[in-house]
Structures are given as C-alpha cells and as structure tokens.
C-alpha cells in the first residue's frame, strides 16, 4: 500500500497502523490493530496499564518492528524502512514521555536546541526561533535553567517544546501527564490542544479515562492489545465528520508527499 | 544533517563532553595512564635487554686465520673475496702483532711470560663482523665452509658453542617477551575497554534520548570517538612522562639505560589515540544496536 493512495475525502492520512500484531514474551502485546490518524487530528489512546499503549507508540516511532502488519508514518513504511532511515523519521515527528527524558546536563535552551541541531538547523536560526518556541510553552524566562531545577510540569513543557521544535506533522505522547498533579495535568492538556490547533496532529496515550472523556475528542480504547472501541472507527468510513475543518496543512503534505523511496534513500528494509 | 552545521555540532558536543565530564574523564585517564605505564615499562625493559643481547651477539665474529707468511697479494685477494660474501658487515685485518698485544692485554699481569717468547705464535687473521640479523650459526657456518678452501687460509673459527648458546638465549628471550607482552597488552585492552564501557554506560540515557530526537548513529558516535582519542593521547602522554621520570632516576645507577626515541614516543601516542577512539567506537556501537 502506497502512501499517496491513502487519502480519504480531503483529509490526508499522516499516520496509519494496519493489522499490526506484536508478541512480547509469550503473549500478544498488540493484536490486529488498525488505526488511522488524519492531518491535524487529535486522538486519545486510552486503556488500562499493560493494554499495549506504549508498545503501539513504539511501533509508530519505529523503535521496534511489528511481527505482522504495517505502520505507515508519512512516507515511512515499517516494512521497508532501513535502520539508517529511522533518524529521518524521528526528526519529523515529536515524541513525549511520562518521565520527560530531558538531558540533565543541559539547559532548557540546549535541550530544545539539540533536536533542532540534529535536524540540521544552524545556530543562528535556532536562536531566532527559540524565543517563539519557548514562549509558547511559557518557559522563555527559564531558558538557562537546568531540568533539575524545574517542576515536573515545567520539565514536561520543555519536553513538549523539544518535540515540536522541528514543527512536526504529528506528536506522539505516552502518558505525558502520568507524573503530574491534576492542575498541571490540565495545563499540559491545554498546551497539547494549542499545539494541535496550530496544525500538528496529536496522539496521546493515557490510562485515565475520566480525564479525557470530557473533551469530545476522538478516543481509541485499547485493552489486552486489542482495540475495543474507536469513536471514529475509521475502517467503517466517515472520517470527514470527525475532523475539524482546517485546511490541509503544509507540514502534513511535506510529511506524506514523498513517495516511498523517492527521496533516494530507498526506504526499503535490507 | 551535513556539512558545516554537522561539523559544528560534533565539535560542540565533543567540547561539552570534555567540559562536563571532567571527573569521569580524569578517572578514565588515570586508569588508562597507569595501564599504559605498565605496558611501556614492559616494552622499555624488553628493548633494553634486547639491545644488550644484540651487542653481545655483534661481538661474535668469524676469524679467518691465515697461513704463516702469506703475501700481501694473497691477503688482499682473501679480503676482496670475503667482502664479496653475503651477510657481512665489515672485515678487519688483525695482524699477528696486534693479536699478541691484545692477548697480552687480556692476560694482564701475567703477560710477562709473553716477553719470553722468541717468535710470535699467533697467525695473521681477518675478523669478520656479521650483519646483526645474520649473527647466527647457520650464516657463520656457511662462511666458514666457503673460506676454508681458499688459498692461504689456515683455519676458520667462530666460537660455535657460544653462538649457538647466544641464539638460544635470544630465541628464549623473545618467546618469553612475546608471551608476557601479549598478556600485558590483553590486560591493558581489557582495562581500557571496561573503562570506556563504564564511562559510556553513564551516558546511556543521553544516547537513547539522542536517538529519539533523530540523531544518526554517526553523530552520536563522533563525539565519543573524539573523546576516546583525546583520552588515548592524554593517558599515553601521562604514561610516557612517568616512565621518562622513572628512567632518568634509574639511569643514574644504570648508565647504559636507553629511552624510546622521539619517533617511538610519537608513534605510541598516535597508536593510543587510535586505540582510544576504537575502544569508544566499539563500546558505543554495542549500545546503539537494539
Ligand atoms: N520487553 C517486554 N517483554 C515482555 N513483555 C513486555 C515487554 N514490554 C511490555 N510487555 C508487555 O506487553 C504488554 C503491553 O505493555 P505496554 O505497551 O507497556 O502497556 P501500556 O503502555 O498500555 O501500559 C504488557 O502486558 C506488558 O507486560
Ligand atoms: Mg505505557
């Protein structure tokens, strides 16, 4: 299946998981999972601890390979991607974790700058964009502080700033509020909504059903490695109703428009 | 990422590793420095002993004794023919008078008895010094066989027993040296690779984070390679400096002691730089593999 074929209505599918199964140890951590995420969409991935949320996200940022099935992120296809191409994918998506995963020996500025440097951005450009990036997460005044001196909520904001610094088409968040108290949790959620409204699709995993129910966003329920309910049920159609009517975003087009292997990197697994 | 930004990134990362990991680097350099010190002490001892042995071997010569009363022409013929042989470093003429004088010197006080001799019983001779690597019984025997049949040659001798003993000594020494050297080298590699691994283990989380934000393996490894090379240079310099200090102290009591030549020191430092970065490369690569 080629990416440019996966368009439904006017919406571009920027991330898709198709009949994915993964065994970890003896039993299936994921079993025949299919999900599609459209450009600019916001979805919660909800399920109890051990349901397979983290495993699914890991498949999506290609930290692991499915036993069967396929993951398609933009123009990157799990069954064809070469190990050496995975860093390219990582630069085009954002990832956020429960435990923040910041470099403790670097300031807020340096942590965010690292993601940009790795993507090939020069220091001049990094400096000129940093004010905007850090202001969006409300931490510009703390740019020279180290993660150790920040609160949990602040650290997660830094992690989010790092994740969106390269203007990704999609942000994957694995229990981003898992370590935070209810008030800070709300703030982080609001930040994720704001990021989403600026054009980045967000898939946020959480075990907290109560937290996410009230927002009216798409919720994908996962249990024992299976999808037990998906508000949109993409494979039965009607994607168009579910997504706000924002126009197809430029960055999503950039993320999906390369045809497979067209970039000369031969995204084919050797 | 490529080009100028890539190079800037790598240099920046390397600089920050050196800056923020002072303690860890210091510990690594101390451990490596002392391991390398053991290695260079061993090499230097081997070098000195082998030089002593070689000097001893060089003194082993082939003597071509001439018949009594050979003409100058015959002598010159023999000299020319000897010089035409392979594996020879130099040929010296030792006249019977010279030989007697030397003999007398060797006898010391009891040389008085020589004065009572009415004729000099010693023959004229050529003393042949072999090329250092050819001071073996095989080559010397060959010369003896050849020269034996020549006109005017009375006898050829070369202290067969001594040469053979010397050969055995050299062989034994190099075998033991090689075995010990291998053990020392392996321990040094073991210690250093563990030091590198520990130091990289402390960076495991950083490496994982780098991967998550999309750094390629090359860019993750490069700063470690540079760090490893610098550690190699510094620790080998430390080892050499300590050895030099020890040498100049011991040298007061052992005047013949030689130190490495300048090129040797430079070569060792370059080798350690290479080994340091190789060690880092291997250690990080293990980690980058999933
Ligand atoms: N490395 C592993 N080896 C074996 N089983 C694992 C491993 N990682 C996760 N699992 C199992 O896979 C299932 C899904 O785990 P996970 O994706 O972490 O769930 P969640 O993130 O929803 O809490 C769980 O049953 C877990 O025990
Ligand atoms: Mg999890």
pLDDT grade for A257, boundaries at 50, 70 and 90: low
Which residues are CB-contacts of A76 (< 8 A; sequence separation ≥ 6)?
A: A62, A85, A88, A89, A267
Sole residue written with tokens 């980045």: A200
The backbone torsions φ and ψ at residue B49, rounded to the nearest 5 degrees and listed phi first, read -65, -40
Q: Report the distance separating Cα A230 and Cα B150, nearest Å.
A: 108
Q: Which of A21, A25, A223 to mutate to test the pocket of ligand 1 (most atoms within 8 A of CB)?
A: A25
What is the interface size between A and B, counted as CB pairs within 8 Å? Answer: 56
List, in order of start, the domains of chain B with CATH numbers: 3-55+167-288 (no CATH), 61-157 (3.30.70.3040)
Best residue for ligand 1 mutational test, from A17, A21, A26, A29 (most atoms within 8 Å of Cβ): A29
B214·A95 Cβ contact <8 A? no
Instruction: Tell me the average pLDDT across A152-171.
Output: 97
The fraction of chain B above a pLDDT of 70, given in percent, is 99
Position A234 pLDDT exceeds 60: no
Q: Which tokens hold the place of A254?
A: 């950039």
Checking if the pLDDT of B262 tops 80, the result is: yes
Tell me the mean pLDDT in the region B147-176: 84
With contacts defined as CB-CB under 8 Å, which chain B residues touch A95? Answer: 212
Q: Which of A244 and A150 is assigned the larger pLDDT?
A: A150
pLDDT band for position A99 (50/70/90)? very high
Is the pLDDT confidence value at A249 over 70?
A: no
When pLDDT is averaged across residues B127-152 and rounded to a whole number, the result is 84
Rounded distance between C-alpha atoms, residue B273 and residue B279, angstroms: 10
**Distances from the Cα of A123 to the Cαs of A110, A126, A137, B10, in angstroms?**
11, 5, 21, 13
The set of residues, in sequence order, having a beta carbon less than 8 Å from that of B32 and lying 6+ positions away, is B191, B192, B195, B231, B232, B235, B276
SS3 call for A28: strand
Cβ contact B60:B135 at 8 Å: yes
Give B107's pLDDT tier (boundaries 50, 70, 90). Answer: confident
The average pLDDT across B133-157 equals 84
Contact call for residues A14 and A209 (beta carbons, < 8 A): no
DSSP 3-state of B123: coil
**Alpha carbons A90 and A17: distance in angstroms, whole number:** 17
Per residue in A47-86, pLDDT (tens digit) is: 999 999 999 999 999 999 999 999 999 999 999 999 999 9
Of B26, B143, B22, B30, the C-alpha closest to B86 is B143
Query: Would the CB atoms of A102 and B209 count as touching at under 8 Å?
Result: yes
- CB A91 to CB B212 under 8 A? no
Residue B127: strand pairing partners: B63, B92
Residue A126 to residue B170: CA distance in whole angstroms: 66
The pLDDT score that the predictor gives to residue A269 is: 38
Q: pLDDT tens across B174-214, in order?
A: 888 889 889 888 887 887 778 777 877 878 888 999 999 99
Mean pLDDT of A142-168: 97
Which residue in chain B has the smallest CA separation from A105? B20
Judging by beta carbons within 10 Å of its beta carbon (0-12, 13-18, 19+), is residue B147 exposed, middle or buried?
buried
Which of B19-23, B51-55, B136-140, B227-231 has the largest mean confidence? Answer: B227-231
Residue with tokens 């993951």: A71
Q: Measuring CA to CA, which residue among B61, B65, B60, B117 is closest to residue B96?
A: B65
A119 touches B: beta carbon within 8 Å: yes
DSSP per-residue letters across B6-68: HHHHHHHHHHHHHHHTHHHHHHHHHHHHHHHHHHHHHHHHHHHHHHHHHHHHHT-EEEEEEPT
Most confident among A136-140, A231-235, A262-266 (mean pLDDT): A136-140
Q: Whole-angstrom Cα distance, residue B63 to residue B147? A: 10
By CB atoms closer than 10 A (0-12, 13-18, 19+), residue B34 is middle
pLDDT value at residue B120: 81
For residues A160-182, give the mean pLDDT.
96
Question: How far apart, in whole angstroms, are the C-alpha atoms of residue B71 and residue B93?
Answer: 14
Which of B18, B19, B214, B289 to substitute to test the interface with A, most A CBs within 10 Å? B214
Task: Answer with the residue of higher pLDDT: B232 or B202.
Answer: B232
Distance from the alpha carbon of residue A175 to the mean position of ligand 2, in angstroms: 7
Q: Does A103 touch chain B (CB under 8 A)?
A: yes
Q: Of the ranges A11-15, A49-53, A106-110, which one carries the lowest mean pLDDT score?
A: A11-15
Tokens of B184: 């020392």
Query: Of A37-46, A246-255, B42-51, B130-139, where does the model show the most confidence?
Result: A37-46
DSSP string, A156-222: HHHHHHHHHTT--SEEEEESTTTTS-HHHHHHHHHHHHHHHHTT-EEEEEES-HHHHHTT--EEEEE
Measured from CB, residues less than 6 Å from any atom of ligand 1 are A 24-25, 29, 47, 49-55
| Residue A246, pLDDT score | 43
Residue of chain B nearest A96, judged by CA positions: B212
Which among B20, B206, B219 is the nearest to A118, CB-wise? B219
Is A55 within 8 Å of A24 (Cβ atoms)? yes
């Amino acid at each position: 299946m080629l990416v440019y074929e996966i368009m439904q209505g006017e919406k571009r599918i920027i991330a898709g998981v198709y009949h994915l199964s993964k065994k970890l140890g003896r039993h299936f951590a994921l079993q025949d999972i299919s999900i599609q995420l459209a450009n600019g969409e916001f979805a919660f991935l909800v399920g109890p601890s051990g349901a397979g949320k983290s495993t699914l996200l890991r498949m999506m940022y290609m930290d692991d390979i499915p036993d069967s099935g396929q993951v398609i992120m933009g123009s990157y296809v799990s069954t064809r991607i070469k190990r050496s191409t995975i860093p390219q994918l990582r630069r085009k998506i954002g990832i956020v974790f429960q435990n923040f995963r910041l470099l403790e020996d670097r300031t807020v500025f340096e942590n965010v700058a690292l993601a940009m440097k790795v993507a090939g951005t020069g220091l001049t450009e990094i400096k000129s964009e940093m004010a905007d990036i850090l202001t969006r997460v409300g931490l510009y005044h703390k740019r020279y502080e180290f993660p150790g001196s920040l609160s949990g909520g602040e650290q997660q904001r830094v992690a989010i700033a790092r994740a969106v610094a390269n203007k990704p088409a999609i942000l994957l968040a694995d229990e981003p509020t898992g370590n935070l108290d209810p008030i800070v949790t709300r703030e982080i959620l609001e930040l994720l909504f704001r990021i989403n409204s600026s054009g980045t699709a967000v898939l946020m995993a959480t075990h907290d059903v109560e937290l996410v129910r009230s927002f009216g966003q798409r919720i994908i329920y996962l249990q024992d490695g299976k999808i037990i309910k998906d508000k949109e049920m993409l494979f039965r159609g009607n994607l168009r109703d579910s997504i706000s009517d924002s126009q197809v975003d430029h960055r999503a087009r950039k993320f999906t428009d390369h045809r497979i292997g067209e970039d000369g990197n031969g995204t084919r697994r050797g | 990422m490529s080009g100028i930004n890539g190079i800037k990134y790598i240099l920046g990362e390397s600089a920050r590793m050196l800056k923020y990991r002072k303690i860890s680097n210091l510990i690594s350099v101390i451990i490596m420095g002392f391991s390398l010190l053991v290695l260079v002490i061993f090499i230097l001892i081997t070098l000195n002993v082998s030089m002593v042995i070689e000097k001893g071997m060089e003194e082993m010569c082939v003597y071509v004794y001439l018949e009594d009363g050979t003409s100058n022409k015959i002598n010159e013929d023999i000299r020319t023919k000897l010089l035409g042989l392979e594996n020879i470093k130099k040929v010296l003429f030792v006249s019977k008078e010279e030989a007697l004088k030397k003999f007398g010197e060797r006898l010391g006080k009891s040389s008085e008895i020589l004065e009572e001799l009415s004729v000099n019983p010693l023959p004229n001779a050529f003393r042949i010094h072999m090329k250092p690597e050819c001071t073996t019984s095989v080559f010397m025997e060959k010369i003896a066989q050849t020269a034996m049949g020549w006109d005017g040659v009375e006898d050829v001798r070369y202290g067969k027993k001594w040469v053979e003993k010397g050969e055995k000594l050299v062989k034994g020494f190099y075998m033991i040296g090689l075995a010990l050297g291998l053990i020392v080298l392996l321990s040094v590699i073991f210690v250093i690779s563990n030091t590198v691994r520990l130091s990289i283990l402390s960076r495991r989380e950083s490496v994982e984070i780098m991967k998550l934000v999309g750094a390629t393996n090359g860019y993750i490894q490069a700063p470690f390679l540079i760090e490893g090379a610098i550690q190699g240079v510094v620790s080998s310099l430390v080892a050499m400096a300590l050895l030099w200090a020890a040498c100049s102290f011991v040298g007061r009591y052992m005047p013949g002691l030689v130190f490495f030549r300048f090129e040797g020191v430079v070569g060792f430092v370059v080798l350690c730089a290479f080994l340091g970065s190789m060690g880092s490369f291997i250690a990080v690569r293990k980690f980058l593999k999933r």
